[in-house]
Structure 1
Amino acid sequence: MRENQISTGKIIDGKEVFAVELTNTRGSKVKIYNYGAIVSSFIVKNAHGEDQDIVLGFDDIDGYLNEDYLSEYPYLGAVIGRYANRIKDGKFQIGGSEYQLTQSLHGGENGFDKKVWDILPTIDPSLTLQYISPAGEENFPGNLTVQLSFKLTDEDELILDYHAVSDAATAINLTHHTYFNLARQGGNVAEHHHRMTASKYLEQDNDYIVTGKVLPGEGTIHDFLGGKAIGQDWDPEEGYDQTYVLDKPYGQMGLASETTERTSGLKLEVYTTEPVAHFYTAKYLNVAHGKGGRDYKKFEAFCIETQHAPNSVNIPAFPKTVLAPGETYLQTTIFKVTV
């Protein structure tokens, strides 16, 4: 694997924005910006020997900064933090103190997805990004130092390693919001075949807030254990925007999902150390002038967001999402592509 670092010519908040390309011996390529740790492209060979980009995004950095895009903001390819997904009423308590966040998705008005991360030197050809989130940013306590490493192996595995420490107890739940489409021509993902190693899913209220109740998936529209077409049982207006509890020991690396597509012959497997995976089929996607000038519409992608349960900072029975001083937050997620 090798890397190539190119300046975009953009300066945001006094920091230069770079595109870093990782390449392996198969000729696969991943492009990542240090702005938002955005995975902008992931090019692999499909079953026909064609180079195929399996993630949604823009041809250059300007697309991610465009006001029209930000007004419909779907977090295309970006890292999510400090806290992924929704927290009930935007509130949580740590040590008797209550913290009120902006009531918005994925870490606040200006989360980690809109920060320019520092590029750290690495020994092997990989990319390690660092962001230091000051205490009080988006009303979170503690100075939080986060490192996120990307490595592309010769087996077409994109490995994401997360590492974080804080000088005060804080809530943390990181994930990555890459939008995948494995079809040669893109389009609706209803025909993608999808399997999840999850026999249970998390109940959500009408505002998509996780309640703390764990429900059996068998026999419901959320039953993906045996695999099926994504659109087989879905509500065609809603699709999926649901958190699944993975059938594996807490903290151990294991398979979360496996998605295949007939026209390309591609399969995407997602492995993670995290306890849950949020499966989202892009109901709210509405992006103009994506790659090659293409518009992206609802249900034209799927996301596998590996994380701790949304709102678990308010649910004591769930695996904890409070990071104390002296502790280290660690997470590894692998996106593996095969033909």
Structure 2
Amino acid sequence: MSVKQIPTGKNIDGEEVIAIELTNSKGTYVKIFNYGAIINKFVVKNAKGEMQDIVLGFDTFEEYLDPAYLTAYPYLGTIVGRYANRIKNGSFTIDDETYQLAQNAGTDTLHGGIVGFDKKVWDVIELGDDSQSFVTLQYESVDGEENFPGNLIIDLSFELTENDELILSYEAETDQATAINLTHHGYFNLAPNGGSIKDHKQQIFASNYLEQDDNYSVTGKLIPVAGTPLDFTKPKAIGHDWNEDEGYDQTFVLDKIYGDLSLATKTIEEESGLTLSVYTTEPVAHLYTAKYLSVKNGKGGKDYSSYGAFCVETQHHPNAVNVPAFPSTILRPEDLYTQTTIYKVSLNK
């Protein structure tokens, strides 16, 4: 096991951007930037014995700041906050106080607003050693940032285990009641040479999904997956039932006890022999098959396009701050926000 800090030579708003590399004894390694808590690399050994990077990203940090990339910004590998997914009409009310956020997705607020946690330099507050490969990052979101109330302090730890598990552990505290819904936006492709993920086999342990309006904002209605293209209760190719012009961009309500750490999704790729299993304490998983992905000169000079990756975004119900029937996303000063999500890689052959 090892942990390395690697300076990027880049400073943003006076804060140094650092890469942290986590490695286990098998040679599996994960590279994380403290800017946006970006997972830049997740390299594992596939069934052919080859070392394979299973996440999309860039070869250098500077490319994450390229204006062309930011124009059609897909949140490649970033943390998402203060509030993941969409808040309907960009507004919510807590204790009779209404807060209006920037409407950066039509009339709705997406992924925390104009400058979310994905564009912040996080402090490196703790590092592991030869016995435990982890890093803990911290960010303080001040009262009024993106018009969210309360000073919010977030700790996010990444730990790589000997079992090829990447464990993301979140904690957050606030001094004022606020809305919070955190997730990580990793783009995965398990095929050795990339390309479309339509032949990846997907399983989602969910009997219901959330209805969405025309702007992908959830309405509050749960719909059974049975008999629909959204039924992934048994493994099937992602492209088997999809509308190939739309793919999937849908939130699934997991069949689980609220708060328990349990298996949410499983994705299998035959050529590499890799399986990605996602475990989470969160109540929902959002499957996004990257319809809007359009990135030039990714790793190795590859262009990334629609359906070139999938995301499994574990979180609370989107727009829950406006839907009382959903589990609450209001954090109060006397409470502690916690979340654990595990990305486990294994061989299926």
Identity within the alignment, %: 62
2:120 aligns with 115
Instruction: Give the conservation status (yes or no) of the 8 Å contact 2:133–2:161.
Output: no
The letter of the residue matching 2:252 is: Y
| Structure 1: gaps of 5 or more residues | none
**Correspondence 1:72 to 2:72:** yes
**CA deviation map 1:28-78 (0-9, x unaligned):** 010000000000010000000000000000011011000000001000000
- Per-residue CA deviations over 1:235-289 (Å, capped at 9, x if unaligned) read 0000000000000000000111000001100000000000000000000000000
Cα distance in 2 for residues equivalent to 1:228 and 1:219: 14
Question: Could you give the per-residue CA deviations for residues 277-326 of structure 1, whole angstroms, max 9, x where no partner exists?
Answer: 00000000000000001000000000000000110000000000000011
* Distance in structure 2 (CA, Å) of the matches to 1:247 and 1:107: 27
Alignment of 1:277-316 (within 5 A): 277-316=285-324
Distance in 1 (alpha carbons) for counterparts of 2:92 and 2:84: 14
Residues 1:263 and 2:263 aligned together: no
The residue type equivalent to 1:111 in the other structure is: G
Residue deviations 1:114-159, cap 9 Å, x none? 0000000245431000000000000000000000000000100000
Q: Is the Cα–Cα contact under 8 Å of residues 190 and 269 in structure 2 kept in the other structure?
A: yes
| Aligned residue identity for 2:54 | I
**Aligned: 1:235 with 2:240:** no
Find the counterpart in structure 1 of residue 8 from structure 2.
8
2:149 counterpart residue number: 141
1:15 counterpart letter in structure 2:
E
Q: Does residue 103 in structure 1 map to residue 103 in structure 2? A: yes
Match of 1:60 in 2: 60
Distance in 1, matches of 2:305 and 2:229, equals 23
* Equivalent of residue 229 in structure 2, options 203, 214, 221: 221
Taking the aligned partners of 2:103 and 2:295, their CA distance within structure 1 comes to 23
SS of 2:206's partner is coil
**1:324 aligns to what?**
332
Residue correspondence of structure 1 range 149-164 to structure 2 within 5 A? 149-164=157-172
Q: Secondary structure at the match of 2:210?
A: strand
Counterpart of 1:269 in structure 2: which amino acid? Answer: S
The letter of the residue matching 2:119 is K
Please give the alpha-carbon distance, in whole angstroms, between the structure 1 residues aligned to 2:111 and 2:200. 26
Contact 2:24 2:133 in 1 (8 A): no
TM norm structure 1: 0.99
What aligned pairs does 1:17-32 form with structure 2 within 5 A after superposition?
Answer: 17-32=17-32
Where in structure 1 do 4 or more consecutive aligned residues deviate above 3 Å?
A: 122-125
Q: CA RMSD in A?
A: 0.6
1:40 maps to a residue whose letter is N
The answer for the alignment partner of 1:42 in structure 2 is 42
Q: Secondary structure at the match of 2:252?
A: strand
Choose which of 207, 212, 217 in structure 1 pairs with 2:215: 207
In structure 2, what is the equivalent of residue 189 of structure 1? 197
Cα deviation code 1:157-187 (max 9, x no counterpart)? 0000000000000000000000000001100
TM-score, normalising length: structure 2: 0.96
Match of 1:129? Answer: 137
Equivalent residue, structure 2, for 1:87: 87
Q: Distance in 1 between matches of 2:80 and 2:103?
A: 15
Deviation at 1:111, TM superposition (A): 0.2
Partner amino acid, structure 2, of 1:201: Y
Q: CA deviation at 1:192?
A: 0.2
